[in-house]
């Protein structure tokens, strides 16, 4: 075994031994009673167990999704296992309203929700920013992935990089049941992975629980000749009684990638710019590039019931995360219709040492006909980082349709202190219920303070974000109508160009406003969610002068820009016929640069008007334990650039799969087989940034077998 995997697995085993867990690993066949945890472990679900009915919503606590005045989807551990998802991005492929802005298989996963970004470092872990692994989160340790669509400073506060597209929250697996599971997975090129998942409960009342996951994988993956290595160790321990819920979470993750990286492609340097047909997804144009990712985290959170109406809670966490090498920035500039191109590589490094803490209380009281749940909490996040200075190669020749053998690795970058940012916020909420829960009202206010210190500027700003949500259930518990007004926040820009009239000026935090209304209908096994929304986001804009002014200024930057997205979404899941379950959604979006110096009135780039996903799963009656499934993904046309002069064509991909559950020699065994993009369609996945298209992934296979002892 390689040195890095020995080190990380050794650390993980040490974690497992905490609390005497090591003595239980040899007792795999011991049948222990199952403990019923508090509301946080509600196992009620939709879509044959693939979607949860309840989820944690930060400052609003544990909520039934049908009772929330927001568009929320909560994917479960079962979906992750059946689809063999290895990262959060592969889980979110099930949602048509979410787009990736980095390639599938990329070591950095960035997203776009309802037209606005969510950076890979803005995934929340247990509702807290800064604690999830750097760049992308492995799915093997996750018990769930929840997405709250649209900006929402009330629920999660301001994202550290200013993303306002939504809130993506991941939660670790918990020791709900006793389990010893070994899973082996093989992917089509030569990637092999082993996964050990162990869960136990201890104590006279089974009040102690531990869930641990160990993963090691290695082999060629994604791109031709690209070699990936992955080692993960995680532990989730809990102590649960009627009054106290205490959770300890920790993970250590290391990923190495050698001899490859996906490409981001521009066409603007062609004599007559046009989008060429997409190349094969597996072509490796950066065969000499290496990347390393290393993330470690430990966190503790607790909740204590002082009485049946009054809870106090708190938590703290620390994460040390590093990426080193060619994580992104592998760009190709196409020069002609033959696909001849120039490419560059960017050697990068960042290290983050993040600290978080929160403290709060919630109290239930009645005032006449109105029930209240008053919540008050404080959140703290410290982000301290060192980062690379530019280290870029000179252009080297390549071709869009032929794998390059001459990729040049740029020199090691110079590392310097970058950020030392502190985010502190205070949240007050009142969740009101009246008329036997037929009318529910949420009022919230979050005060956000930010102290920003970067290598180029320092400033302190604050903002107040009000929110209101209404849920009406006139026809009983199974139909709800909802509406909300919420705000999101992004850091204000600092003008860095000395030739700018407003040089060195820092703008106040930019506000994103969302207006949304919708309905949720729950009938039998079915859940339908309809949503209409509008989001308006502020930003800065720069206007160049035709000639310098009397003071030599050549431009002026102001804070008056605005972008807007409007959309309609429909999500549905349920049993269509006996044994036939569906999970699908559609999203239509209309976007515009409403106020801008350039491109005003144009559509926002990278936003297809129409996207749709339909997944079906059928339990075959001819053989007990056999299921087959399929998923169709459609993505409409989208502009590649803000000028709307280049357009990526629409595309459709089809994924197929099957699983078979049986017993071999008394051991519960599950075989799983999935094929993504079975037709090997060549397509442009989407847009990385203005003018840069990302290549869609080619056909890939996954075969896995799990043994439950």
Coil/strand/helix, residue 474:
coil
Amino acid 189: pLDDT: 84
The confidence band for 416, taking pLDDT boundaries of 50, 70 and 90, is confident
Is pLDDT above 50 for 8? no
Task: For residue 357, give every residue at least 6 positions away whose Cβ sits within 8 Å of its Cβ, in sequence order, or none.
Answer: 314, 315, 316, 317, 379, 380
The confidence band for 525, taking pLDDT boundaries of 50, 70 and 90, is confident
Coil/strand/helix, residue 41:
helix
Smallest CA-to-CA distance from 221 within 187, 250, 252, 194 is with 187
Tens-digit pLDDT profile for residues 165-214 = 999 999 999 999 999 999 999 998 899 999 999 999 999 999 999 999 99
The Cα–Cα gap between 706 and 456 comes to 52
Is pLDDT above 70 for 334? yes
Tell me the residue range of the domain where 557 lies.
3-708
Cα 611 → chain centroid: 19
Strands 166-172, 124-125: parallel, antiparallel or unpaired by DSSP? parallel
Smallest CA-to-CA distance from 201 within 33, 29, 23 is with 33
Coil/strand/helix, residue 279:
coil
Q: What is the CATH number of the domain that holds 605?
A: 2.40.170.20
Structure tokens at 472: 């009406």
The confidence band for 405, taking pLDDT boundaries of 50, 70 and 90, is confident
Segment 87-92 shows an average pLDDT of 96
Is pLDDT above 50 for 1? no
Inter-residue contact 109 to 117 (CB < 8 Å): no
Amino acid 39: pLDDT: 36
Domain count, the chain: 1
Amino acid 13: pLDDT: 39
Amino acid 323: pLDDT: 94
What percent of the chain lies above the pLDDT cut of 70?
94
Coil/strand/helix, residue 400:
coil
State the distance between the two ends of the chain, measured CA to CA, in whole angstroms. 25
- Report the side by side order of strands in the sheet with 331-334: 396-399, 340-344, 331-334, 264-266, 692-695, 684-689
How deeply is 146 buried, as exposed, middle or buried, from its count of CB atoms within 10 A (0-12, 13-18, 19+)?
buried
359-362-363-368 Cα dihedral, nearest 10 degrees: 140
Inter-residue contact 591 to 565 (CB < 8 Å): yes
What angle is formed at CA 77 by the lines to CA 655 and CA 312, rounded to 5 degrees? 145
What is the pTM (predicted TM-score) of this model? 0.91
The Cα–Cα gap between 543 and 555 comes to 6
């Amino acid at each position: 075994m390689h040195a890095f995997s020995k080190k990380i697995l050794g650390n993980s085993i040490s974690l497992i031994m905490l609390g005497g867990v090591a003595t239980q690993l040899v007792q795999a066949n011991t049948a222990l009673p199952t403990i019923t945890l508090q509301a946080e472990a509600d196992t009620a679900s939709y879509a044959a167990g693939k979607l949860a009915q309840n989820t944690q919503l930060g400052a609003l606590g544990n909520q039934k999704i049908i009772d929330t005045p927001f568009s929320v989807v909560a994917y479960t551990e079962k979906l992750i296992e059946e689809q063999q998802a290895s990262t959060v991005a592969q889980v979110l492929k099930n949602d048509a309203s979410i787009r990736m802005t980095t390639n599938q298989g990329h070591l950095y996963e960035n997203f776009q929700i309802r037209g606005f970004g969510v950076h890979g470092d803005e995934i929340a872990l247990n509702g807290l920013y800064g604690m999830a692994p750097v760049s992308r989160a492995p799915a093997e340790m996750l018990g769930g992935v929840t997405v709250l669509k649209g900006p929402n400073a009330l629920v999660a506060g301001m994202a550290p990089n200013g993303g306002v597209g939504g809130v993506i929250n991941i939660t670790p697996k918990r020791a709900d049941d006793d389990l010893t599971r070994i899973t082996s997975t093989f992917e089509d090129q030569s990637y092999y992975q082993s996964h050990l998942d162990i869960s136990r409960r201890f104590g006279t009342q089974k009040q102690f629980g531990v869930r641990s996951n160990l993963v090691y994988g290695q082999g060629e993956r994604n791109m031709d000749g690209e070699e990936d290595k992955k080692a993960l160790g995680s532990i989730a321990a809990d102590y649960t009684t009627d009054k106290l819920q205490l959770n300890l979470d920790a993970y250590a993750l290391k990923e190495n990638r050698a001899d490859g990286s996906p490409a981001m492609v521009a066409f603007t340097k062609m004599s007559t710019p046009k989008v060429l047909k997409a190349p094969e997804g597996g072509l490796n144009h950066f065969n000499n590039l290496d990347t390393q990712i290393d993330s470690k985290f430990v966190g503790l959170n607790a909740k204590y019931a002082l009485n049946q109406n009054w809870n106090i809670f708190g938590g703290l966490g620390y994460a040390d995360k590093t990426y080193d090498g060619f994580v992104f920035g592998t760009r190709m500039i196409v020069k002609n219709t033959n696909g001849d191109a120039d490419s560059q590589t960017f050697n990068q490094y960042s290290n983050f040492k993040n600290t978080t803490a929160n403290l709060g209380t919630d109290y239930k009281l009645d005032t006449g006909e109105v029930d209240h749940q008053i919540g008050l909490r404080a959140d703290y996040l410290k982000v301290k980082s060192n980062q690379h200075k530019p280290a870029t190669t000179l252009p080297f020749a390549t071709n869009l349709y032929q794998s390059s053998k001459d990729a040049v690795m740029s020199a090691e970058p110079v590392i310097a202190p970058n950020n030392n940012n502190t985010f502190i916020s205070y949240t007050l909420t009142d969740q009101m219920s009246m008329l036997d829960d037929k009318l529910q009202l949420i009022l919230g206010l979050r005060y956000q303070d930010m102290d920003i210190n970067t290598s180029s500027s320092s400033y302190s700003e604050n903002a107040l974000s009000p929110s209101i949500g209404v849920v009406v259930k006139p026809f009983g518990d199974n139909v709800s109508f909802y509406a909300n007004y919420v705000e999101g926040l992004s850091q204000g820009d600092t003008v860095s160009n000395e030739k700018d009239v407003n040089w060195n000026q820092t703008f106040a935090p930019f506000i994103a406003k969302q207006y949304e209304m919708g309905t949720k209908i729950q009938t039998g096994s079915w859940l339908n969610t309809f949503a209409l929304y509008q989001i308006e986001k502020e930003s800065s804009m720069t206007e160049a002068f035709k000639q310098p002014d009397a003071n030599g200024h050549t431009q002026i930057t102001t804070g008056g820009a605005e972008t807007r997205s409007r959309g309609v979404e429909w999500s549905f899941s349920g049993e269509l016929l006996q044994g036939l379950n569906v999970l699908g959604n559609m999203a239509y979006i209309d976007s515009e640069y409403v106020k801008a110096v350039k491109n005003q009135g144009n559509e926002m780039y990278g936003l297809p008007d129409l996207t749709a996903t339909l997944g079906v799963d059928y339990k075959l009656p001819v053989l007990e334990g056999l299921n087959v499934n399929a998923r169709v993904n459609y993505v409409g046309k989208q502009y590649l650039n803000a000028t709307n002069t280049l357009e990526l064509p629409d595309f459709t991909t089809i994924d197929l799969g099957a699983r078979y559950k049986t017993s071999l020699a008394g051991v519960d065994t599950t075989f799983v087989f999935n094929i993504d993009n079975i037709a090997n369609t060549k397509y442009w996945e989407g847009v990385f940034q203005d003018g840069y298209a990302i290549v869609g992934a080619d056909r890939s296979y996954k075969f896995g077998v799990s043994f439950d002892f």
